[in-house]
Amino acid sequence: MTLKTMGVSEKTKELVAPWKGRKGGLIPILQSVQREIGYLPEEALATISEELKIPKADIYGVATFYAQFHLKPRGRHVIRVCRGTACHVRGSLKILDKVKQILHVEENDTTEDLRFTLEPVACLGACGLAPVVMIDDETHGRLTPDKVQPILDKYE
Amino acid sequence: MALYRAHVLICKGTGCTASGGPSVYSAMQEELKRRKLDREIMLVETGCHGMCEMGPIVVVYPEGALYCRVTPEDVPEIVEEHLYKGRLVERLLYTVPSEMTKIPHYRDIPFYSKQHRIVLRNCGYINPEHIEEYISRDGYQAFAKALLEMTPEKTLEEVKNSGLRGRGGAGFPTGLKWEFARKAPGDKKYIICNADEGDPGAFMDRSVLEGDPHSLIEGMLLGAYAIGADEGYIYCRAEYPLAIKRLKNAIAQAEELGLLGDRIMGTDFSFHLHIKEGAGAFVCGEETALMASIEGKRGMPTPRPPFPAQHGLWGKPTNINNVETWANVPQIILNGAEWYSSIGTEKSKGTKVFALTGKVKNTGLIEVPMGITIREIVFELGGGILNDKGFKAVQVGGPSGGCLTEEHLDLPVDYESLTAAGAIMGSGGLVVMDEDTCMVDVSKFFLEFTQRESCGKCVPCREGTKQMLLLLEKITRGEGTMEDLETLEELAQMVKRMSLCGLGQTAPNPVLTTLQYFRDEYEAHIKDRECPAKACAALIAYTIDPEACKKCGLCAKNCPVNCISGDRQTPYKIDQERCIKCGTCLEVCPFNAVHKD
């Protein structure tokens, strides 16, 4: 069943079920909830807490520790601007500035129309193509500031 | 089985995919079908060739001709000329930057001819999604040999004698580490592969995971057999979706053939392998933090002892190695410890994979014997500095490493010599820097990273890196004092000595090495309020020379903050108040009218 036909709490229960009674399930559960819902709403965290009998504080602790988890809704597309060493020495800061300027959005923030979320990341491991930006699962390399706008235009 | 007269290999690694590899692949597929060659010529998707700069890469065998930066439009020409008429497509061959000569064959390109590929031997050569291709390259032979002909003790002995040391950073002897876990009392033991490659500027593990996942699985099988473990985890960072997909596929194939599971090859040996996706925390590369993360907790390190070999995952004896270490093991068992230890230097055996990046002509992944010099790597394999600028430094070992200078160019690369010079082998990132790179800015860059990734558990790392960063920011703004330099050095020493885990203990290395080798640059920022490399935004200004300006308006059009004004009649001018000093105007000006001072 999809999220539309069942509530956040129901969906979360469904995702927790395979992990009941097994060790080490919290992070995979949070990952799958975020994959389905797009972020981690409070209701989902409360449900996980009840289902796994883990204090909410512990769950909150894990969810805020890792960069991957988000407690606020996210844009339809996530722009990851690589700020790794190789990209840095080849001008990734200019790419980041250009994205910010075009979308009027700050780092780790989402545009008002929920189209994009901008996230600088430490390294995408595509250093051979520096500077690099990853939008959703697609990698764009050898960028210059003037290539940013046409790339962003491809994402609705 | 069908016979093919030629093989066309197209790279589907992350680098080439981003450069348009998939469209070259589908163009080739269609063209071969259209010319009715699809039964004569086999098209293979491979993993990374390493020379990402030149991607998308297409290699045609049996000749071994390598074509660079291929576009879908080039495909009909390759088919017509090379595959039909047997003539090379000259214009797409690799050109040696210094001599402008074309090199047709893969193995003759300096980037490859100096390499010794053990870990990467299959990368770019086989289709990583078919276990049969791995098996045809002696895959799982080493495992069968160990399982059927060798005892676990003998297997361990072989790895110990090979001299293999951990490729994740610290260089601890692998055989010894295995022995600790083997000897630890307990009926349940785990092994883990650390694939949480988090160092900015490093992508060697990713290439192995994407290009040859079975070599890792076979290495882990051998480790499990030697140690006496029956369960293993691969902890892979979530930023590598393709690597995770290929690993899952590889595990399923190995399970199907009975190479993973219960009672493998009819023996009493059983091994189950799982994948855990990391959730984005650099500190999880530290082994105790990694185990906490697998257990579903915040990934924070714990003091050692107890070591994972005694008290690891869920309290059981556990052995952790990184991807490159595991991938070396099958070749060691297959060819013997003596063969392996004949490669390299006295204390550092075998090869090391480096990610060569930054301001160098050939960026990419290289595997070289230990003991090679930095000069050979940068100037021969790397082809020299981009735009033939002056070499300044090479940063070795990522955020935990250090910057080495011109005087270290002839240093043989091994664990001991790098540590003696103040850097570390680390995971093998090599970032080349030219005269335009400001070393103060570089050390600030690394500290920003480690400071952000500090987990916050111990005070020296949490507070110390923060204060160091504030000092560096002050210096790059041109507001530093000579006293700040002393404080910075003192803090760096303290953080290095007092931190709980490897992250904090090594975080000051970039600062300490740049202070040691480039102190004059720090002093220029402080005494002269000047950035010698003209990289620190607060200390430079961009101006337009009204005489040289041809009033084309390109600068104003490209300025990200619209702070340049002018028109066809009046020369363009930069509003210094609003300028963010990004340097775009300087890059786009066709008349060199923009100056940076």
Contact check, Cβ <8 Å, B18/A89? no
B204 and B300 assigned to the same domain: yes
B150 and B175 assigned to the same domain: yes
Pairing of strands B190-195, B318-322: parallel
For residues B299 and B293, what is the distance between their CA atoms, to the nearest angstrom?
Answer: 5
Query: Is the confidence at residue B472, as pLDDT, over 60?
Result: yes
Pairing of strands B231-236, B190-195: parallel
Q: Do residues B98 and B383 touch, judged by C-beta distance below 8 A? A: yes
pLDDT digits (tens, 9 = 90+) for B310-352: 999 999 999 999 999 999 999 999 999 999 999 999 999 999 9
Least Cα separation, residue A42 to chain B (angstroms): 19
What pLDDT shows up at residue B296?
93
B239 and B366 assigned to the same domain: no
- Asked whether residue B533 is domain-assigned, the answer is no
B143 and B281 assigned to the same domain: yes
pLDDT digits (tens, 9 = 90+) for A70-106: 998 889 999 999 988 888 888 898 899 999 989 999 9
B68 and B30 assigned to the same domain: yes
Option in B15, B17, B299 nearest A65 (CB): B299
For residues B30 and B43, what is the distance between their CA atoms, to the nearest angstrom?
Answer: 11
pLDDT (mean) for B140-168: 96
What pLDDT shows up at residue B101?
84
pLDDT digits (tens, 9 = 90+) for B122-141: 998 999 999 999 999 999 99
Residue of A nearest to B14 (CA): A126
Residue finishing a domain among B427, B454, B482: B427
Lowest average pLDDT, out of A115-129, B158-172, B182-196, B429-443, goes to A115-129
The alpha helices in B91-240, defined as continuous H runs, are: 110-113, 131-136, 141-149, 152-162, 174-183, 204-211, 213-227
Residue finishing a domain among B336, B367, B384: B336
Query: Is the confidence at residue B66, as pLDDT, over 80?
Result: yes
For residues B316 and B312, what is the distance between their CA atoms, to the nearest angstrom?
Answer: 5
| 3-state SS assignment for residue B130 | coil
Option in A30, A86, A101 nearest B431 (CB): A86
Pairing of strands B573-574, B231-236: unpaired
B192 and B311 assigned to the same domain: yes
A11 touches chain B (CB under 8 A): no
A26 touches chain B (CB under 8 A): yes
- pLDDT bucket at A2, cuts 50 / 70 / 90: low
- pLDDT bucket at B108, cuts 50 / 70 / 90: confident
Query: Which residue from B265, B196, B285, B207 is spatially nearest to B234, judged by alpha carbons?
Result: B196
| 3-state SS assignment for residue B484 | helix
What is the 3-state secondary structure of A68-128? Answer: CCCCCCCCCEEEEEECCHHHHHCCHHHHHHHHHHHHCCCCCEECCCCCEEEEEECCCCCHH
B320 HSE (CA, 13 A, CB side) = 25
Round the average pLDDT of chain B to a whole number and report it. Answer: 92
Least Cα separation, residue B295 to chain A (angstroms): 4
What pLDDT shows up at residue B1?
53
Task: Return the H-helix or E-strand segment holding A60.
Answer: helix A56-65
Q: Do residues B396 and B425 touch, judged by C-beta distance below 8 A? A: yes
pLDDT digits (tens, 9 = 90+) for B447-462: 999 999 999 999 999 9
B397 and B474 assigned to the same domain: no
B234 and B190 assigned to the same domain: yes
Burial class of residue B435, CB neighbours in 10 A (0-12, 13-18, 19+)? middle
What pLDDT shows up at residue B51?
86
What pLDDT shows up at residue B529?
93
B450 and B398 assigned to the same domain: no
Residue located via tokens 């076979």: B218
Residue of B nearest to A25 (CA): B296
- pLDDT bucket at A3, cuts 50 / 70 / 90: low
Query: Is the confidence at residue B144, as pLDDT, over 90?
Result: yes
What pLDDT shows up at residue A1?
52
Task: Return the H-helix or E-strand segment holding B346.
Answer: none
- pLDDT bucket at A5, cuts 50 / 70 / 90: low
B29 and B98 assigned to the same domain: yes
- Asked whether residue B487 is domain-assigned, the answer is yes
Give the CATH number for residue B559: 3.30.70.20
Contact check, Cβ <8 Å, B19/A86? no
What pLDDT shows up at residue B492?
97
B323 and B177 assigned to the same domain: yes
pLDDT digits (tens, 9 = 90+) for A61-78: 999 999 889 998 889 999
Contact check, Cβ <8 Å, A130/B357? yes
pLDDT (mean) for B433-438: 91
| 3-state SS assignment for residue B582 | coil
**Residue B582 identity:** C
Mutate to test the interface with B, among A26, A78, A85, A101 (most CBs of B within 10 A): A85
Lowest average pLDDT, out of B97-111, B410-424, B471-485, goes to B97-111
* Chain A residues with beta carbon closer than 8 angstroms to that of B364: 128
- Asked whether residue B114 is domain-assigned, the answer is no
pLDDT digits (tens, 9 = 90+) for B523-533: 999 999 999 99
For residues B62 and B84, what is the distance between their CA atoms, to the nearest angstrom?
Answer: 14
pLDDT (mean) for B75-85: 94
Give the CATH number for residue B294: 3.40.50.11540
Distances (CA, A) of B531 to A86, A98, B198, B438, B441: 21, 24, 30, 7, 9
Q: Between B363 and B144, name the one with better pLDDT.
A: B144
Option in B199, B279, B395 nearest A27 (CB): B279
Option in B300, B355, B587 nearest A127 (CB): B355
Query: Is the confidence at residue B582, as pLDDT, over 80?
Result: no
Distances (CA, A) of B318 to B188, B192, B245, B300: 9, 7, 26, 17
For residues B445 and B452, what is the distance between their CA atoms, to the nearest angstrom?
Answer: 11
Give the CATH number for residue B355: 3.10.20.600
Pairing of strands A133-135, B102-103: unpaired
A70 touches chain B (CB under 8 A): no
Owning domain of residue B71? 6-109
Lowest average pLDDT, out of B189-198, B252-261, B508-517, B573-582, goes to B573-582
- Asked whether residue B342 is domain-assigned, the answer is no
**List of residues 6+ apart from B470 with CB closer than 8 A:** none
pLDDT (mean) for B92-105: 84
Interchain CB contacts (distance < 8 Å): A and B:
151
Give the CATH number for residue B97: 3.40.30.10
- Asked whether residue B65 is domain-assigned, the answer is yes
Domain count for chain B = 5
For the stretch B541-565, what's the b/e string if a residue is b when 16 or more beta carbons lie within 10 angstroms of its beta carbon?
ebebeeeebeebebbbebbbeebbe
Model-level pTM?
0.90
Task: Return the H-helix or E-strand segment holding B351.
Answer: strand B351-358
Distances (CA, A) of A135 to A40, A124, B208: 21, 11, 24
Asked if this assembly's ipTM is beyond 0.90, the reply is no
A50 HSE (CA, 13 A, CB side) = 10
B146 and B236 assigned to the same domain: yes
Least Cα separation, residue A22 to chain B (angstroms): 11
- Asked whether residue B116 is domain-assigned, the answer is no
What pLDDT shows up at residue A4?
63
pLDDT (mean) for A120-141: 86
Query: Which residue from A97, A77, A79, A78 is spatially nearest to A144, judged by alpha carbons?
Result: A97
Give the total residue count for chain B.
597
Q: Given phi > 0 = left and psi -120 to 50 = alpha, else beta, which region is A108?
A: left
- Asked whether residue B573 is domain-assigned, the answer is yes
Q: Do residues B296 and A26 touch, judged by C-beta distance below 8 A? A: yes
Query: Percentage of residues in chain B with pLDDT exceeding 90?
Result: 73
Give the total residue count for chain A.
156
What pLDDT shows up at residue B583?
81
Least Cα separation, residue A5 to chain B (angstroms): 29
- Asked whether residue B534 is domain-assigned, the answer is no
* Chain B residues with beta carbon closer than 8 angstroms to that of A122: 198, 200, 282, 449, 453
Residue finishing a domain among B527, B559, B578: B527
Give the CATH number for residue B503: 1.20.1440.230
